[in-house]
């Protein structure tokens, strides 16, 4: 693994465990097993490390779905649930995005990028005749980012993410009737088996 | 103001500004203008202070609505939006609840209390014939706590809560069709004027 990647992974682990305030650059150096010189060649401060972790999520969350439109949107929410459990960089970036007030001026870039991703799926859903006339794609993308953000926070505190797939099935149960046409709803599949995932 | 209340308010201000990790008992003592003796008479640790702030939200968020059932539920979400702006104890308790991993073992008590409050309104809505047959009151109370939690996090980062009323109107636009009977929807009123509230 390249040094920069090793540092980034170590930073994610430390931010995930301790939050921004509880993390320190020396903890991250120890975890990554790099010298001060190695660290400062790549990153000058804890803030810079947090920013790198926060922006890394785009690289890690690629479109996972063959489906597009409504199915792609639904799949993306369940894919990211698994990423939260299995991918420490993604998990840390979400924690930093939620607790972002901690490290400086408010910046909703990460949220807006999520809105954009969901918006693309919603526009495809519209083209495929899956959305009801009264749905505003951009408005609902914003609603969904908010709802998803809190659902994962609640799930993390309640169960360390183990119940997140169940909570997402519930969330979709109360959004789909408001957004999807009958043919859209008939087509979309929620995971039939939402076995609790190991934390 | 009694010393204990003064300390609690100061603690809320400090937790609201700095988060749990960034707060310290000496910052809180200075803010409250109490001696070490005064502090330790009431609170022994930062953790104990955080716990007191976190559990104080029940005292502060009383039922604000004359309405009950669906209208009571909707009113509660807008009332708490105003509380987030105007009541530092409530705001700090929400921040601590969201960032709770910071100070010790995960504890979803605050979330479960919200679920209970919403559940009571949903049961009343059921009795008044406002809920669709397929709605599970407890399941939707959980969905709504998750959705609300994230909506306020997003709004806080995007606008310091200024756009929270607008975001709540949007959220309800996509939940009401999935939960409310036609007569329930006809009866319920969202705030007509969601002027941005000052942060």
pLDDT tens, per residue, chain A with 199 residues: 688 999 999 999 999 888 888 889 999 999 999 999 999 999 999 999 998 998 887 665 555 556 789 999 999 999 999 999 989 999 998 888 887 665 655 778 888 989 999 999 999 999 999 999 999 999 999 999 999 999 999 999 899 899 999 999 999 999 999 999 999 999 999 886 555 444 3
Q: How far is CA A21 from CA A92, A107, B59, B92, in A?
A: 13, 17, 29, 16
The answer to whether domain A3-53 and domain A57-187 are alike in fold is no
- Looking at domain B3-55, what is its CATH homologous superfamily? Homeodomain-like (1.10.10.60)
Distance from CA of A139 to the nearest CA of B (A): 7
pLDDT of residue A199: 37
- CB within 8 Å: B173 and A177: no
Q: Sort out which chain B residues have CB atoms less than 8 A from A149's CB and list them.
A: 149-151, 153-154
**DSSP secondary structure letters along A15-51:** HHHHHHHH--HHHHHHHHT--HHHHHHH-SSHHHHHH
- CB within 8 Å: B111 and A158: yes
Q: Nearest by CB to A149, from B97, B150, B170: name it.
A: B150
pLDDT of residue B17: 87
- Cα A71 to chain centroid distance, Å, stands at 18
Report the distance separating Cα B175 and Cα B151, nearest Å.
13
- CB within 8 Å: A147 and B145: no
Q: Nearest by CB to A153, from B150, B167, B170: name it.
A: B150
Q: Sort out which chain B residues have CB atoms less than 8 A from A19's CB and list them.
A: 19, 21, 99, 101-102
Q: Which fold has domain A3-53?
A: Arc Repressor Mutant, subunit A (1.10.10)
Report the distance separating Cα B179 and Cα A170, nearest Å.
12
- Residues in chain B where the model's pLDDT stays below 50: 196-199
Nearest chain A residue to B105, by CA: A157
| Closest CA relative to residue A115, chosen from A95, A91, A90, A145 | A145
Q: Sort out which chain A residues have CB atoms less than 8 A from B149's CB and list them.
A: 149-151, 153-154
Q: Sort out which chain A residues have CB atoms less than 8 A from B105's CB and list them.
A: none
Domain boundaries, chain A: 3-53, 57-187
Per-residue pLDDT reduced to its tens digit, B66-91:
678 999 999 999 999 999 998 999 99
pLDDT of residue B100: 67
Q: Which fold has domain B57-187?
A: Tetracycline Repressor; domain 2 (1.10.357)
Q: Sort out which chain A residues have CB atoms less than 8 A from B98's CB and list them.
A: 98-99, 153
The complex's ipTM works out to 0.88
Cβ atoms within 10 Å, residue B122: 25
- CB within 8 Å: B111 and A151: no
pLDDT of residue A104: 58
Q: Nearest by CB to B157, from A106, A150, A152: name it.
A: A106
pLDDT of residue A196: 47
pLDDT of residue B197: 45
Torsion of CA A77, A83, A84, A87, to 10 degrees: -160
pLDDT of residue B104: 58
pLDDT of residue B199: 37
């Amino acid at each position: 693994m390249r040094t920069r990647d090793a540092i980034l992974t170590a930073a994610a682990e430390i931010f995930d465990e301790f939050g921004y305030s509880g993390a320190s650059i020396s903890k991250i150096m120890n975890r990554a097993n790099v010298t001060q010189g190695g660290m400062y060649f790549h990153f000058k401060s804890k803030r810079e490390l947090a920013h790198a972790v926060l922006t890394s999520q785009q690289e890690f969350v690629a479109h996972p779905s063959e489906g597009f439109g409504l199915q792609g949107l639904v799949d993306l929410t369940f894919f990211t649930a698994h990423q939260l459990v299995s991918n420490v960089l993604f998990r840390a970036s979400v924690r930093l995005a939620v607790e972002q007030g901690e490290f400086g001026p408010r910046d909703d870039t990460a949220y807006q990028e999520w809105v954009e991703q969901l918006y693309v799926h919603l526009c495809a859903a519209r083209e495929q005749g899956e959305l009801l006339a009264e749905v505003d794609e951009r408005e609902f993308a914003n609603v969904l980012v908010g709802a998803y953000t809190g659902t994962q926070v609640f799930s993390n505190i309640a169960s360390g993410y183990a119940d997140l797939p169940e909570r997402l099935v519930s969330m979709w149960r109360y959004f789909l009737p408001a957004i999807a046409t009958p043919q859209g709803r008939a087509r979309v599949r929620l995971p039939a088996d939402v076995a609790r995932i190991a934390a």
